[in-house]
Structures are given as structure tokens and as C-alpha cells.
Structure 1
Amino acid sequence: MMKHLVFIATAAVFVSAHHENLVPMRAIARIASPAGNEIQGNVTFTQLEDGKVHVEGSLYGLPKGQYGFHVHEKGDITGGCLSTGSHFNPEHKDHGHPNDENRHVGDLGNVDFDDNRACHIDFTDSKISLIGPHGILGRGLVLHEKSDDFGRSSHPDSRKTGNAGGRVACGVIGIL
């Protein structure tokens, strides 16, 4: 009986230690327009050793310009992009720029589309994570119809959403 208890305790420690090393290091979101527009693409998230997350990908289908780009609290797209809820904001802060200390965790700023209706994303963020309280796995990634003003305008929605307007495309962030 004692041998079995020692074995079970040893196995539990091994599984627990092994589980900590199984942290998902990469995630992906396939972005598409629920309205059937030709907005589409993929965005990958790579957890870096310093705790930051590298965000990269390509999106297609919007005219030249800047568009708000945010992680939303829910990975539910059954009702289109509206069912993704609000911006991911576990610290209950105001909307802000990605470099601001006072910002939603999900505030990733704007992405730029070129003359060919293409957007190439490549940046590192220090607030989002693939694990822990700032974990984005299973959450929604949303592309908005207008540019994000970073909470700096007098518009009533500025400090809540960056006044980025409606949601034109979205996806769910999942393990890659």
C-alpha cells in the first residue's frame, strides 16, 4: 500500500511539473467577415520568453487606411462579431494606445491596409499573454470599421472603444 501511495504522489508531482511546461506557445485567429464580404486573413500570436507576445499576420479586403484592432472578451462568433462582447479589459481601465499604461489589455491599436487592400501585421505587445490573467486564448479578435483614436478624442465612445466603429471582421484565438 505504501509503495502505491509513493508512486501516486510521485506521478502527481511529475504530471504537475510536466503540465507547467505545456504552456501554449503559439495561437492563431482566422479572421473573416460574417457579412460575407471579402475580408479575411490569419493572425498568429507567439508567446516570447520575456513575457511579451509577438503578433503577426496578413489580412485582406479593406480599402487603404487604418482600422481598429482589438482582442474582445468572448470567443463567441455565433451571432457574428457582435457576440464577442466588449474589449478584453480584466483590469477595468480606460481605452488607450498600445504603449499606454492605462489601457485595456485587448487594445492593440490600428492596423494599416495598403492600396492593394492588404495589411501585414508585425508587432510585439507587452499586455496580452497566451496564459494567465491576461490570457487571450479562446477570446475574440476583431477588426473595426474605423481608425482607433486611442481614447484621446472628445467623442463619447473614445475612452470606452476608441471610437473605432462597428465590427467588420472577427475570429476566435485558438491554440496553433
Structure 2
Amino acid sequence: MRTLATAAGIALLATGPTFAQDSGDELTERAIAAAEVMNQDGENIGSVYVQETESDIAHVTIALTSIPEGVHGVHFHETGDCSADDFSSAGGHIAGDAEHGVRSAGGPHPGDMPNVTVQSNGIVNVEYFNERLDVMEHLMDDDGAAFIVHSGPDDYVSQPSGDAGNRIACGVIEAATVEDMPAE
């Protein structure tokens, strides 16, 4: 039986982005994707990095600023397009054949992530491991993918998207290299 932490991803608070390393303390050359995240005013508010680990689990690092205080749903969406004012151009969650949410018997989606809690300073700096998300299959497919921050928390059960509210930030996922990743 999976635990909630395993099904949703293991959340670790971080002091800065870190990435999968091999036994020689070098960053691995596994598939890497990244997004520069913009708010609705078009301002860059941070980055998201996803690297496939040696165990084939996606390591997601989220480093954002200027997010309103509170709990926010974050997800990977099915289309790499943030052009609409409300970011609806990013489509729905990357769903595969699953229902939304870890509290749904048929869930979760590969694009579902645990909520982030933002303190009054507006900073999000977390790492997750997502065993359902495949960098090449889900993030780098023909129509790409996007990372979305929602105005409210994901309830982990409402279909099709967790009732997380409006989309307040968006980043188009693109291929990246180890050189693109920030130093630890």
C-alpha cells in the first residue's frame, strides 16, 4: 500500500535548488526540463527544474518569489503555452489515464503535485519526487507542457483539477542541460 507521501511525492524544504547527483558528486546527464515562471503581469518570478533521476523518478525543484501568502496548488499542464491572459492556453493537467488527486481511487495524475505553503515573504523553495511524471513522455512531447501555480489549494479529489482556483503564474517547460541549472 502506498503512503500519501509516496503517492503525492516526497516534499522536502530546501535552502536552494539541488539536483540528482551520481556517485562522483557530478550532476547526472539524465533528461532535464526547466521553465522560467511568469506572473500575470509578465514578470519573471522564478524557475522550475525537473530532472529524471537514476531511479527513473522525476526530481522537481520549485524556486519562486512574489507568490501571495497561503496554500497554492501547483501542477504540470498538458500544453506548453502560457500566452492567454488567464493561462488557460496551458490546457488541463497532464492526466494520463488517471483521475485527479491522491484522494481519488483512480488518481493521481502524473501532473499532480503536492500543494505549496507560502509564508508572508512570498517565497516558494521546495523539492518533490514524482514517480508518475516522465520528463520525455509528459513534459517534452509534441505540444510541450507548462507549470502552473493556482490561487488556492488543491483539494486532491475534485475532478478534473482539484478546485485550486485561478491560474496566477505559468512557465513553459523546455529542454535544459546541466549547464542551465543553477549552482547549488
With the shorter chain as reference, the TM-score category is: 0.7 to 0.9
Flag structure 2 segments of 5+ consecutive residues without an equivalent: 1-28, 177-184
Q: Quote how far apart the aligned CAs of 1:100 are.
A: 7.5
Aligned AA (1:170): C
Report 1:8-157 matches (<5 A): 25-33=31-39, 35-36=40-41, 40-80=45-85, 81-91=87-97, 93-97=98-102, 102-132=107-137, 135-137=138-140, 138-151=144-157
Q: Quote how far apart the aligned CAs of 1:94 are.
A: 1.6
* Matched residue count: 144
**Equivalents in 1 of 2:173, 2:126: separation in Å?**
16
**Equivalents in 2 of 1:54, 1:98: separation in Å?**
22
- Higher strand fraction: Structure 1 or Structure 2? 1
Secondary structure in 2 matching 1:83: helix
Secondary structure in 1 matching 2:129: strand
- Higher helix fraction: Structure 1 or Structure 2? 1
Give the TM-score normalised by the residue count of structure 1.
0.74
Larger Rg: 1
Q: Quote how far apart the aligned CAs of 1:39 are.
A: 6.8
Q: Quote how far apart the aligned CAs of 1:123 are.
A: 1.4
RMSD value, Cα: 2.2
Give the TM-score normalised by the residue count of structure 2.
0.71
**Equivalents in 2 of 1:53, 1:87: separation in Å?**
16
Change (3 A) 1:63 1:55: same
Flag structure 1 segments of 5+ consecutive residues without an equivalent: 1-22, 152-157
Residues 38, 61 of structure 1: 8 Å contact kept: no
Flag as ranges the 4+ runs of structure 1 deviating above 3 A.
98-101
